[in-house]
């Protein structure tokens, strides 16, 4: 096989959503598997909708996602420039060449005329398609009218009756020339149309495989026609299936988090998202392995294992993978990644020192099995930062709290410990078990509620050291020690 060159060609008109992220990922995997080149090309020919801030965000999101590319607007390379807006001369040159060789022609139809044709076709139950009216204008006259400044688009003359290509995902694919019409190559304002710019660029950038979403499959015959007109060899095409939401409608914002940015803000790890999106349409060689790291996927990635049926996005499965990858990380790293979420929740302020980070590691460890993604950490850890003695009393029922034999004995013992260890806590409970005869839930439940204000939560074995160490740190929201908690509990319950 010739050296693989693939490209990811986003339009900077919005955030990178799941479908495009998967397209980028598959191109990256394919390039890396073959030791080939991945080109990042910015398709900003839609001047009204393209914005620099979207391009900046796009690069940042792709880097966060963990992809890298070999050539692109930020890196340069032998086939630059990599922004279509900077390649206008090339499009002009090839459009002129097509006109001169009789493969393209000027079209002077006004938008109103075209709209009227469209309406008539719809009324007659025909598929709307350009009638080819301006094909009949003599080339010399058309050239004169265009040169005199009359608004003119440039259209490709479709002369073939059948377009076929062997799609690497869909297999043999055919389109009839009749349904295509003469596509616009250059709009009357001088901007190249997508189908034209993409062919010129893919050819000049020596792209060997075009891997993209199947929303473009109906563009491909137009592009194939252009390759033929220009006398160029078309690349291989692989059209990836649509991604659907759980309701089997095309995945969209309506289904929740769908952009790379929204996954980052949820606290999904990029490695989990890469693993998950890899499985969206592709499967491992053994047909069943689901947890694969980059090296494993790159080693086996092949377009043969891509399914053509639509893939259904499953947030639960992504959460499952995210939990898996979270557990693989050192706690210190999870703590670091959680910091922005604690800051946003108002539980932590920056700057903070290494002891705080070490302590956050304990906090994260205590709640890790309760969360799917990192933005849930502060909520899961709320009872560490907030203690509401009144809530604890009412949870136990006022009378029970006040008169609880267990608490009456436990409280003074804990109050006597300026720095309670879990070992000492166990001893205290053993002593109280002996003297009250209470055990199991009757013993632990009131103590848990009095210490945390909640009747469920992380194990006390984890919480007690967190309370004690936290109370010594300078945090945005002070953390109460076990003794401080029981002191306010006793006051709220008016224990005697
Ligand atoms: N700019 C197009 C898009 O974002 C790229 C299509 C292609 O890969 O050819 O959909």
Which residues touch 290 (CB under 8 Å, ≥6 apart)? 275, 279, 284, 321
Among 304, 328, 352, residue at a domain's last position: 328
Q: Are residues 399 and 469 in the same domain?
A: yes
Q: What does the pLDDT read at residue 2?
A: 81
Domain, as residue range, for 485: 364-493
Q: What are phi and psi of 208, to 5 degrees?
A: -95, -30
Q: Are residues 375 and 480 in the same domain?
A: yes
CB 223 within 8 A of CB 9: no
Q: Are residues 378 and 485 in the same domain?
A: yes
Three-state DSSP class for residue 160: coil
Q: Going by CA atoms, what residue is nearest to atom 2 of ligand 1?
A: 10
110 in any annotated domain: no
What whole-number distance in Å separates Cα of residue 292 and Cα of residue 81? Answer: 36
Q: Are residues 273 and 378 in the same domain?
A: no
Q: Are residues 303 and 423 in the same domain?
A: no
98 in any annotated domain: no
What whole-number distance in Å separates Cα of residue 449 and Cα of residue 394? Answer: 10
Q: What does the pLDDT read at residue 417?
A: 92
Query: Shortest CA distance to 483 belongs to which of 443, 405, 424, 397?
Result: 424
- Per residue in 140-168, is it b (16+ CB within 10 Å) or e — as a string? eebbeebeeeeebbbbbbbeeeebebebb
148 in any annotated domain: no
- CA-CA-CA-CA torsion for 464, 469, 471, 477, nearest 10 degrees? -100
Ligand 1 centroid to residue 191 C-alpha, Å: 16
Ligand 1 centroid to residue 13 C-alpha, Å: 12
The closest-lying atom of ligand 1 relative to the alpha carbon of residue 10 is 4
283 in any annotated domain: yes
Q: Going by CA atoms, what residue is nearest to atom 6 of ligand 1?
A: 9
For ligand 1, pick from 5, 7, 9, 19 the residue to mutate: most ligand atoms within 8 Å of CB.
9
What whole-number distance in Å separates Cα of residue 438 and Cα of residue 406? Answer: 8
Ligand 1 centroid to residue 164 C-alpha, Å: 20
Q: 253, 308, 419, 430: which one is catalytic?
A: 253
pLDDT tens across the length of the chain (496 residues):
689 999 999 999 999 999 999 999 999 999 999 999 999 999 999 888 999 999 999 999 999 999 999 999 999 999 999 999 999 999 999 999 999 999 999 999 999 999 999 999 899 988 888 999 999 999 999 999 999 999 999 999 998 889 999 999 999 999 988 788 899 999 999 999 999 999 999 999 999 999 999 999 999 999 999 999 999 999 999 999 999 999 999 998 888 889 999 999 999 999 999 999 999 999 999 999 999 999 999 999 999 999 999 999 999 999 999 999 999 999 999 999 999 999 999 999 989 999 999 999 999 999 999 999 999 999 999 999 999 999 999 999 876 766 689 999 999 999 999 899 999 999 999 999 999 999 999 999 999 999 999 999 999 999 999 999 999 998 888 999 999 999 999 999 988 6
The closest-lying atom of ligand 1 relative to the alpha carbon of residue 215 is 10
Q: What are phi and psi of 364, to 5 degrees?
A: -60, -40
The closest-lying atom of ligand 1 relative to the alpha carbon of residue 8 is 8
Q: Going by CA atoms, what residue is nearest to atom 10 of ligand 1?
A: 10
For ligand 1, pick from 212, 223, 238 the residue to mutate: most ligand atoms within 8 Å of CB.
212
Among 328, 355, 390, residue at a domain's last position: 328
Ligand 1 centroid to residue 121 C-alpha, Å: 29
Ligand 1 centroid to residue 23 C-alpha, Å: 10
For ligand 1, pick from 43, 207, 218 the residue to mutate: most ligand atoms within 8 Å of CB.
43
Q: What does the pLDDT read at residue 253?
A: 82
Among 282, 302, 328, residue at a domain's last position: 328
Beta strands 5-8 and 153-156 are unpaired
Q: Is 3 a catalytic residue?
A: no
Three-state DSSP class for residue 246: coil
143 in any annotated domain: no
Ligand 1 centroid to residue 321 C-alpha, Å: 29
Beta strands 162-167 and 153-156 are unpaired
Query: Shortest CA distance to 30 belongs to which of 54, 6, 52?
Result: 6
Total residues belonging to the chain:
496
Q: What are phi and psi of 26, to 5 degrees?
A: -65, -35
Q: What does the pLDDT read at residue 1?
A: 66
Beta strands 243-244 and 311-312 are parallel
Q: Are residues 313 and 405 in the same domain?
A: no
Q: What does the pLDDT read at residue 399?
A: 67
174 in any annotated domain: no
Do you find a cis peptide bond into 344, omega within 30 degrees of 0?
Answer: no
Three-state DSSP class for residue 188: coil
The closest-lying atom of ligand 1 relative to the alpha carbon of residue 212 is 8
Q: What does the pLDDT read at residue 496?
A: 63
420 in any annotated domain: yes
Q: Are residues 400 and 305 in the same domain?
A: no
**8-state DSSP, 374:** G
Q: Where are the alpha helices (DSSP H) in 279-421?
A: 294-300, 315-328, 331-344, 354-367, 377-380, 382-385, 389-396, 398-403, 405-415
For ligand 1, pick from 198, 222, 223 the residue to mutate: most ligand atoms within 8 Å of CB.
198
Q: Going by CA atoms, what residue is nearest to atom 5 of ligand 1?
A: 9
The closest-lying atom of ligand 1 relative to the alpha carbon of residue 202 is 9
Cβ count within 10 A of residue 416: 11
In terms of pTM, does the model score above 0.85? yes
- Per residue in 330-356, is it b (16+ CB within 10 Å) or e — as a string? eeeebbebbbbbbeebebbeeebeeeb
What whole-number distance in Å separates Cα of residue 205 and Cα of residue 233? Answer: 13
Q: Are residues 296 and 385 in the same domain?
A: no
What whole-number distance in Å separates Cα of residue 168 and Cα of residue 170? Answer: 6
Element (DSSP H or E) covering residue 220: helix 220-230
What's 16's domain CATH number?
A: 3.40.50.620
Ligand 1 centroid to residue 10 C-alpha, Å: 5
- Per residue in 195-229, is it b (16+ CB within 10 Å) or e — as a string? bbbbbbbbbebebbbbbbebebbebbbbbbbbbbb
What's 398's domain CATH number?
A: 1.10.10.350
Q: Are residues 389 and 315 in the same domain?
A: no
Q: What does the pLDDT read at residue 161?
A: 80
Q: Are residues 369 and 487 in the same domain?
A: yes
Domain count, the chain: 2
Cα atoms found within 13 Å of the Cα of residue 428, Cβ hemisphere only: 20
Find the residues whose C-beta lies inside 6 A of ligand 1.
9-11, 43, 198, 212, 216
164 in any annotated domain: no
């Amino acid at each position: 096989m010739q050296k693989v060159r693939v490209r990811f060609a986003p339009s900077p008109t919005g955030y990178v959503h799941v479908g495009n992220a998967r397209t980028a990922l598959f191109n990256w995997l394919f390039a890396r598997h073959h030791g080939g080149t991945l080109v990042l090309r910015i398709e900003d020919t839609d001047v009204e909708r393209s914005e620099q801030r979207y391009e900046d965000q796009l690069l940042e999101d792709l880097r966060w996602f963990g992809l890298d590319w070999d050539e692109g607007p930020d890196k340069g390379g032998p086939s630059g420039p990599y922004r279509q807006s900077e390649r206008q001369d090339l499009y002009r040159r090839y459009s002129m060449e097509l006109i001169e060789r009789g493969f393209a022609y000027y079209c002077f139809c006004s938008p109103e005329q075209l709209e009227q044709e469209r309406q008539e076709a719809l009324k007659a139950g025909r598929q709307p398609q350009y009638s080819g009216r301006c094909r009949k204008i003599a080339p010399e006259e058309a050239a004169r009218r265009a040169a005199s400044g009359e608004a003119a688009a440039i259209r490709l003359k479709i002369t073939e009756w059948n377009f076929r290509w062997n799609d690497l995902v869909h297999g043999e694919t055919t389109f009839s020339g009749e349904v295509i019409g003469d596509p616009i190559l250059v709009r009357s304002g001088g901007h190249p149309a997508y189908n034209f710019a993409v062919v010129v660029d893919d050819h000049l950038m020596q792209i060997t495989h075009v891997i993209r979403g199947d929303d473009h499959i109906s563009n491909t015959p137009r592009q194939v026609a252009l390759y033929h007109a220009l006398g160029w060899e078309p690349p291989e095409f692989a059209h990836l299936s649509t991604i659907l939401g759980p309701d089997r409608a095309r995945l969209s914002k309506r289904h929740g988090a769908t952009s790379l940015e929204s996954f980052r803000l949820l606290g999904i790890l990029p490695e989990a998202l890469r693993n998950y999106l890899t499985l969206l349409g592709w499967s491992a060689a053994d047909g069943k392995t689901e947890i694969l790291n980059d090296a494993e996927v790159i080693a086996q990635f092949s377009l043969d294992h891509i399914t053509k049926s639509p893939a259904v996005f499953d947030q639960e499965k992504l959460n499952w993978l995210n939990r898996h990858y979270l557990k693989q990380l050192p706690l210190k790293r999870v703590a670091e990644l959680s910091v922005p979420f604690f800051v946003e929740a108002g539980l932590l302020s920056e700057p903070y020192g290494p002891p705080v980070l070490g302590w956050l590691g304990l906090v994260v460890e205590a709640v890790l099995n309760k969360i799917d993604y990192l933005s849930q950490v502060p909520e899961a850890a709320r009872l560490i930062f907030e203690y509401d003695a009144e809530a604890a009393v009412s949870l136990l029922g006022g009378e029970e709290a006040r008169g609880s034999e267990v608490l009456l004995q436990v409280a003074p013992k804990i109050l006597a410990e300026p720095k309670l260890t879990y070992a000492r806590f166990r001893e205290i409970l053993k002593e109280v078990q002996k003297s009250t005869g209470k055990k199991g839930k009757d013993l632990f439940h009131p103590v848990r509620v009095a210490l945390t204000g909640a009747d469920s939560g992380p194990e006390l074995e984890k919480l007690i050291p967190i309370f004690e160490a936290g109370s010594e740190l300078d945090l945005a929201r002070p953390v109460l020690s076990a003794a401080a908690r029981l002191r306010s509990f006793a006051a709220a319950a008016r224990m005697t």
